[in-house]
Structure 1
Amino acid sequence: MEIATKKPELLAPAGDYSCFRAALKAGADAVYIGGQKFGARAFAGNFSDEEVVEALKEAHFYGKKLYLTVNTLLKQEEIKQLPDFMEPFYKAGLDGVIIQDIGALSLLGNCFPGLELHASTQMTVTDVRGAVFLQKLGVSRVVPARELTLPEVEALCRESGMEVEAFIHGAMCYCYSGQCLFSSLLGGRSGNRGRCAQPCRQPYRILTEKAGDECYPLSLKDMCTIQFLPELIKAGIDSFKIEGRMKKPEYVAGVTSVYRRRVDSFLADPENDKGVSEKDMHMLSSLYIRSKISGGYYYRHNGKEMVTLKQPGYAGCDDEVLRAVQTELLDKELSVPVVLKAYLHSEAPLRLEAWIMGEAEHEEDGAAGGSSVALEGQMVQTASNRPLSPADVQKQLGKTGGSGFRAERILLDMSDQVFLPVKALNEARREILEQLKEKQTAKWERHEEISRTPSCGKEDKESGRPEERKQTRLYASVHNAAQLEACIQEGAERIYLSHSCLYGMTEDFLRKAGKERTGSEWFLSLPVILRRDDEGRLAKIADVLKTGIFDGVQISSPAGLQWLDEIGWQGKVALDHRVYVWNRETYDFWEKQIDTYCAPLELNRSALFELPGEKQEILVYGNIPMMVTANCIRKTAGGCLKEKGKRAASENMVRLLDRYRTEFPVETDCGYCYNIIYNSVPLSLHAYLGEIAEKRVGAVRMDFLEEDVAAVRERIAVFRRLLNRKKGNEEPLPDINWKFTTGHYKKGAK
């Protein structure tokens, strides 16, 4: 790789205003913050609306950028508030907004055409296809999943045509960001809503062939890339992102300053890189680090070396380091170099000019450029006693403390024997610096009228449910051949086959089974995560799709749809619940591209029924996937099947045992090398099927994971009977012989 000529942006976090100032003082090029709504750190201090505007002015005054996080999923009532929430920030010159929700992305793009749209890491972008898909929506920058290797990130930089913002330091989620429902399902606090309770930091036992000792297998070490930062620069990454909106100012300032020095030092002389000093390495290792630090996924795919098996909590901070950060960084006063020029001649008003140093055309004579201001003050008098000396004038004009400016040069054009009260000089200095600051920050303000078309969230839309009740269809999702045959026998109208089924089913078997289906559709479910190394496996899936066995394809990411377009797929497309449709704006974006969508698993019944119903399917049975992870539970336990030349079958699962003796199934997909951690008991909405059918939902879906043939047939029969029960039928519910949860159907996630 050749050394990139561009200098990467250093992007620091700020959970409150003190952290924001700490980031600026430490040398950040840009800062990302959250407002009072829609940010994925609900428990950070966050910024009031007034503070966001003030931070924008301050950042722009110092030549820095400010990005706002809108990286949560938005319900219908919330997304209607988004344009009004964003308008004052847009007008104040907001540099960019970091977004998770596709509906929010579409809405903000329509309302604020001059606003940069950045795709959050919560959007789980894992390959170039995902980035290119988002580029079509107006996204200019993508924050890829932290699980990507350096070659994968480099490919994004090279092939996507977009800016790439990559994490370089901070806490690591065990799950692919945006794919986690663990906290949501166990505690009602959703990571997709910025309220994660961090169940990944709790102890578990790994149950393989035998039970392991209690440890913390889901708690990753914090990322620290300082040692190989030159390689990240050479890869062409546009923005280096530091995690930590929940951290203190000392962390923000200390970490930012170390990476600032490292970037600047390397770019100043890349051929003679001196590496990282012991002092800087000690600072990074002493500021709110969880156990030992790790390089993240840039140079490794997974492994127990990345996990804090014994100590998930934050280690204490070195007091000496904290004091150094305070004195060297936090106590420092920020300032912009300014040139002041004063004209003092008897019987003429004081004239004072000011401009940012380096922005004047001819600084010697004061003919300043675009950032100059001038004013006239009091009349200058002829001195009767003690005249003003040049030293007196320079002393008063140099008192710029607290203004944000630093008088780097003071030029004088003055006569002898002149007099002006010191107070007049001071007042003129304060006033002109205020004017200069206002002029400097006004450059970023936007003054155009904001569009208020229906596409900008002001118009309530109908739910899109047909007036007459149609028969709600019953769909099923299967993991093996036995489940497939049971669903065919029970007459499921649509069957989703996991891609893992292809490991054990021949084309002849699928064709034979396909002849037995009576009126049912078959959809092939693509892998949840698609990455650069999966091209060979995707080619085999493409060959299967060409056989005509499958009527449709179920996708779990926008990258899946991009791939289907590339291979010329003409069949149906279904969205899994992992492609979140929380509001009408998101549905409107997808409507013409899909046949059906599975409703989100975190919405309650009221929010579900606000969404269009004809293409909607609601998951009513099945173990809910709570985490999709690049790290591997089995490998952490020392039993990687891929390294042993084996492949994990769906019936050969690992399990996690928590401190309450609850077991969570873990599917190890060794073909695509990721884990899916499922809830301990299935969701079962059997008691609400009548209500769901009355709301004219298009279909209900049953997901089967480890159920045997008898269980599959029994449960489909029960659900079919309840689904077809007429309104007013007082027949009691059948006895249910399985443990279950109703998930978020009644209350929804916070």
Structure 2
Amino acid sequence: MAWRCPELLAPAGDWECARAAVENGADAVYFGLERFNARLRAHNFTEADLPELMAYLHSRGVRGYVTFNTLVFADELASAERSLRAIVAAGVDAAIVQDIGVCRLIRQISPDFAIHASTQMTVTSAAGVDFVRELGCALVVLARECSLAEIAKIRTATAERPLPLEIFVHGALCVAYSGQCLTSEALGGRSANRGECAQACRLPYELVADGERVDLGERAYLLSPQDLAGIDLIPELLPAGLASLKIEGRLKSPEYVASVTRVYRQALDRAAAELEKTGPVDPASYYALEMAFSRGLSTGWLEGIDNQRLVHARYGKKRGVYLGEVLRVQEGTVELVLEAPLKPGDGVVFDGGRPDEPEQGGRVYMVEMHHSLARVGFGRGDIRWRRVQPGDKLWKTSDPELERRVRRSFAPGAAPFQRPVHLQVSGRPGEALVLEAQDESGRLVRVQSSLPLAEAHKHTLDTERLAEQLGRLGGTPFKLGALDNHIEGAVHLPVSELNRLRREVVERLIALRAEPLRWQSHPTPAAPRVNGEAPTLAEPELIALVRSFAQLDAVLDSGLRTVYCELEDVRQYRRAVERARAAGATLFVAPPRIAKMGEEWILSQVRASGADGYLVRNYDHLHYFASERCVGDFSLNVANPLAAKYLKERYALERLTASYDLNVAQLSALLAGAPPAWFEITIHQHMPLFHMEHCVFCAFLSEGTDHTNCGRPCERVEVQLRDRVGSAHPLKADAGCRNTLFNARAQSAAEYVQHLVGLGARYLRVEFLNDPPERVGTVLDSYRKLLAGQMSGSELWRELKLFNQLGVTRGQLPY
């Protein structure tokens, strides 16, 4: 059975990577510019590169997408608009976008320019697909955490109004939901939502359960998933109806791009041609993938949740191909049974399962085989042999011969990757021969001979002869696909004329393909400020978020009018509502941060509480609680007035929590760009760092794979993850069994509150995590004094440092 082959989308961090992708069979590439892209550490392209880059890609039949996939702050909208206009004018095929406000900005600039919803938008359900479609997106990149079964449910639920779906099929996996990770921002001021991820997930952590360190042996990289490799699932991905399969790696080398793209191109072509006869992936392909870059390969979440398999926790950096276990160590050599080929010149590393010690490795100088045993030698001084022991695992990290072979695929002068072209020939004796060429995208050119066709007595232009002559497309981006011969009668044309026609049709088709796309464009600039009601002059209101009944009672005793409640067991919300009503307070309850297909029962339980309102956190919540009082939470990533206006007006939200990516200057710009009464600002909290589908409780405190067989240790044990500097970060599970790791230290905006109030901020939130009830009352009383002018921000800051054993942090808030 034949299937429509999805687009193969490859990364391009620079020109060399773009050529590597094109020459190894990518249908499209994605790349970033100097700003507003989620991989600022890549070399990236400039706006001035766009015309040349797009002409190159299009001439080769390859689409190009710009990654405009970061949050954009209020004071950056004018700059973002200029960049977007350059992107539209250059004929880029689409922009991959995270920010809701940027989607609105693009539609102000151009009514038809294609928008792709980035995986940073955290779309996990049909409601998310509907949301981005209404926003104006032409395609959505689903969250990496979606399984094939969940993707099928999304397609079924959106069948009446389908939107093309894209998924990641290979590369590094973020342990946290993309667009929902605040770790780099909170701990180092480098926001993942701004392209500056510091990869804290790849560092070692200790597991602390009920205050005691858990001995996990050599497992220390508790948050570092194996890399994604969906190569074995290609036969299942084709009938899934996906529009695009995406390879991760804009920070990777051109050799990585070339190797991985070629492996998937070959697998897709094989599967599309004969799906039912496709056998297992050949070992050479696996070898190429592992040598390109690998922390271990798995299918990620595509086959469902398996917490034991996702994170092996032995290492967090590139390994490559496993060679075997060291049996004997002598000065200068080791002995082992090789499980993969090894030759002099290859690079290796020894893994001793001791993540706190430097690893040993280097180039192999000698490989001697004695039956099944290999003796491997190294150069003098390359290895510190006292750190290599029997039992260590040996990995091949470099294969120079393979790297040279891969580089030849995209080196200058290499044979270009060829795409099929459909030729049609027509004519009759006494008239010109007409040659039409159509590429895979439907572009059509027509040329005709300068000589008329003559009647032939021999060497007739039959289909075989035409294919032989016109199919000589070596050195061009084309290969002969179908050939339709509509010539009437027996005719002849000189070979030289056929060659000229072939050259002309190739040149004209390349030129046609290189022409930029023509998108519509509106000249009116976007307004940096949005309209709304006049700023309120009401007194600032303090709102508390609690995570236990003891905290709830303490807040109610303090007399606060509005309280938010977030409990792991959503069935307990009804009891929380009853307590708040009895105290005369308004209670909003919070559903879990992620919603997936089949989890509607959780939202039903939340609504059954009869709460006064809901703290909505995702697209499902916006739809499900549309008729209720709602406040948008920080996870909606509102960073600019355009995003705020769309969400507030489209979904009638009472207010929106400002993104946690904003510092005080950026918060100030947001309050200046839209009515301050629209916003709620969190001034005290333990910042949520990682929000994960990966369940640490299940993976390391049970032998189960998921919630069905883990025994639910999350209900019995208090867990923290201790980092390299000794901070023990609390870990919580929610009703969907997703984990959130919170910052050990509370973050306070005490020193900036009066400034924000002076700008019109009126809704200020204080969040509690594991705080005992006596501290809850004390903290709230102190912030009330601050708002009343009875205490300065610096005085409160010093007081908070005394309250909290670990002190407090300003986090990302300073200017």
Same fold (TM over 0.5): yes
The whole-number CA distance in structure 1 between the counterparts of 2:424 and 2:54 is 21
The whole-number CA distance in structure 1 between the counterparts of 2:507 and 2:641 is 46
In the TM superposition, residue 414 of structure 1 has moved relative to its aligned partner by 6.9
The equivalent of 2:183 in structure 1 is: 182
Aligned match for 1:667, one of 732, 736, 741: 732
In the TM superposition, residue 367 of structure 1 has moved relative to its aligned partner by 2.4
What SS does the aligned partner of 1:533 have?
A: coil
Q: Which residues in structure 2 correspond to 1:504-583 (within 5 Å)?
A: 504=572, 507=574, 510-517=577-584, 520-545=585-610, 550-565=611-626, 570-583=627-640
| Residues 467 and 527 (structure 1), Cα distance of their counterparts in 2 relative to 1, 3 Å cut | closer
The equivalent of 2:317 in structure 1 is: 313
The whole-number CA distance in structure 1 between the counterparts of 2:205 and 2:11 is 31
**2:659 is equivalent to residue 600 of structure 1:** yes
The whole-number CA distance in structure 1 between the counterparts of 2:40 and 2:424 is 41
In the TM superposition, residue 183 of structure 1 has moved relative to its aligned partner by 1.1
The whole-number CA distance in structure 2 between the counterparts of 1:82 and 1:300 is 38
TM-score by length of 1: 0.84
The whole-number CA distance in structure 2 between the counterparts of 1:542 and 1:467 is 32
Q: Which runs of 5+ in 1 are unaligned?
A: 339-355, 377-396, 419-424
**2:702 is equivalent to residue 643 of structure 1:** no
What SS does the aligned partner of 2:398 have?
A: coil
Q: Which residues in structure 2 correspond to 1:135-214 (within 5 Å)?
A: 135-160=133-158, 161-209=162-210, 210-213=212-215
The equivalent of 1:341 in structure 2 is: none
The whole-number CA distance in structure 2 between the counterparts of 1:474 and 1:260 is 57
In the TM superposition, residue 135 of structure 1 has moved relative to its aligned partner by 1.0
Aligned match for 1:371, one of 409, 433, 445: 445
The equivalent of 1:346 in structure 2 is: none
Q: Which residues in structure 2 correspond to 1:344-359 (within 5 Å)?
A: 358=423
The equivalent of 1:437 in structure 2 is: 510
What SS does the aligned partner of 1:371 have?
A: strand
What SS does the aligned partner of 1:81 have?
A: helix
Residues 217-253 of structure 1: per-residue CA shift (max 9 Å, x gap): 0111111111121112222222111111111111111
| Residues 115 and 635 (structure 1), Cα distance of their counterparts in 2 relative to 1, 3 Å cut | same
In the TM superposition, residue 313 of structure 1 has moved relative to its aligned partner by 1.1
The equivalent of 1:394 in structure 2 is: none
Q: Which residues in structure 2 correspond to 1:2-17 (within 5 Å)?
A: 5-17=3-15
Aligned match for 2:283, one of 278, 285, 288: 278
In the TM superposition, residue 413 of structure 1 has moved relative to its aligned partner by 5.9
In the TM superposition, residue 723 of structure 1 has moved relative to its aligned partner by 0.9
Whether contact under 8 Å (1:100, 1:119) holds in the other structure is yes
The equivalent of 1:381 in structure 2 is: none
Residues 263-316 of structure 1: per-residue CA shift (max 9 Å, x gap): 1112212222222112112211221112x2111111231413221412211121
Whether contact under 8 Å (1:31, 1:67) holds in the other structure is yes
In the TM superposition, residue 187 of structure 1 has moved relative to its aligned partner by 1.4
One-letter amino acid of the structure 2 residue matched with residue 371 of structure 1:
V
Q: Which runs of 5+ in 2 are unaligned?
A: 320-396, 437-443, 451-469, 484-490
Aligned match for 1:724, one of 788, 799, 803: 788
The equivalent of 1:352 in structure 2 is: none
The equivalent of 1:299 in structure 2 is: 303
The range that moved more, 638-647 or 95-104, is 638-647
Whether contact under 8 Å (1:553, 1:573) holds in the other structure is yes
What SS does the aligned partner of 1:285 have?
A: helix
Whether contact under 8 Å (2:33, 2:45) holds in the other structure is yes
What SS does the aligned partner of 1:614 have?
A: helix
The equivalent of 1:237 in structure 2 is: 242
The equivalent of 1:250 in structure 2 is: 255
One-letter amino acid of the structure 2 residue matched with residue 299 of structure 1:
E
Q: Which residues in structure 2 correspond to 1:392-407 (within 5 Å)?
A: none
The whole-number CA distance in structure 2 between the counterparts of 1:555 and 1:462 is 23
| Residues 246 and 445 (structure 1), Cα distance of their counterparts in 2 relative to 1, 3 Å cut | same
| Residues 691 and 415 (structure 1), Cα distance of their counterparts in 2 relative to 1, 3 Å cut | closer
Whether contact under 8 Å (2:88, 2:519) holds in the other structure is no
In the TM superposition, residue 373 of structure 1 has moved relative to its aligned partner by 5.9
Whether contact under 8 Å (1:130, 1:562) holds in the other structure is no
Percent identical among aligned pairs is: 30
One-letter amino acid of the structure 1 residue matched with residue 310 of structure 2:
M
| Residues 360 and 187 (structure 1), Cα distance of their counterparts in 2 relative to 1, 3 Å cut | farther
Whether contact under 8 Å (1:189, 1:197) holds in the other structure is yes
Residues 83-115 of structure 1: per-residue CA shift (max 9 Å, x gap): 321234323332221110000011112322222
The whole-number CA distance in structure 1 between the counterparts of 2:474 and 2:178 is 44
| Residues 248 and 337 (structure 1), Cα distance of their counterparts in 2 relative to 1, 3 Å cut | closer
Q: Which residues in structure 2 correspond to 1:35-46 (within 5 Å)?
A: 35-46=33-44
| Residues 478 and 375 (structure 1), Cα distance of their counterparts in 2 relative to 1, 3 Å cut | farther
Residues 51-107 of structure 1: per-residue CA shift (max 9 Å, x gap): 322222222222221111111001123222233212343233322211100000111
In the TM superposition, residue 362 of structure 1 has moved relative to its aligned partner by 5.8
**2:391 is equivalent to residue 327 of structure 1:** no
What SS does the aligned partner of 2:714 have?
A: coil
One-letter amino acid of the structure 2 residue matched with residue 319 of structure 1:
P
Whether contact under 8 Å (1:615, 1:698) holds in the other structure is no
One-letter amino acid of the structure 2 residue matched with residue 312 of structure 1:
G
The whole-number CA distance in structure 2 between the counterparts of 1:260 and 1:666 is 41
Whether contact under 8 Å (1:480, 1:501) holds in the other structure is no
One-letter amino acid of the structure 2 residue matched with residue 622 of structure 1:
Q
Q: Which residues in structure 2 correspond to 1:42-61 (within 5 Å)?
A: 42-61=40-59
The whole-number CA distance in structure 1 between the counterparts of 2:68 and 2:449 is 42
What SS does the aligned partner of 1:165 have?
A: strand
The equivalent of 1:379 in structure 2 is: none
The whole-number CA distance in structure 1 between the counterparts of 2:62 and 2:771 is 56
The whole-number CA distance in structure 2 between the counterparts of 1:415 and 1:107 is 56
| Residues 398 and 637 (structure 1), Cα distance of their counterparts in 2 relative to 1, 3 Å cut | closer
The whole-number CA distance in structure 2 between the counterparts of 1:595 and 1:663 is 36
| Residues 286 and 508 (structure 1), Cα distance of their counterparts in 2 relative to 1, 3 Å cut | closer
What SS does the aligned partner of 2:598 have?
A: helix
Whether contact under 8 Å (1:463, 1:609) holds in the other structure is no
Residues 334-389 of structure 1: per-residue CA shift (max 9 Å, x gap): 27699xxxxxxxxxxxxxxxxx762666699442454246899xxxxxxxxxxxxx
The whole-number CA distance in structure 2 between the counterparts of 1:139 and 1:197 is 29
In the TM superposition, residue 151 of structure 1 has moved relative to its aligned partner by 0.3
| Residues 701 and 731 (structure 1), Cα distance of their counterparts in 2 relative to 1, 3 Å cut | closer
| Residues 431 and 729 (structure 1), Cα distance of their counterparts in 2 relative to 1, 3 Å cut | closer
The range that moved more, 154-163 or 462-471, is 462-471
Whether contact under 8 Å (2:570, 2:602) holds in the other structure is no
In the TM superposition, residue 730 of structure 1 has moved relative to its aligned partner by 11
The range that moved more, 87-96 or 736-745, is 87-96
Q: Which residues in structure 2 correspond to 1:28-107 (within 5 Å)?
A: 28-107=26-105
Q: Which residues in structure 2 correspond to 1:692-731 (within 5 Å)?
A: 692-725=756-789
The whole-number CA distance in structure 2 between the counterparts of 1:626 and 1:40 is 18
Whether contact under 8 Å (2:530, 2:642) holds in the other structure is no
TM-score by length of 2: 0.77
The whole-number CA distance in structure 2 between the counterparts of 1:225 and 1:405 is 29
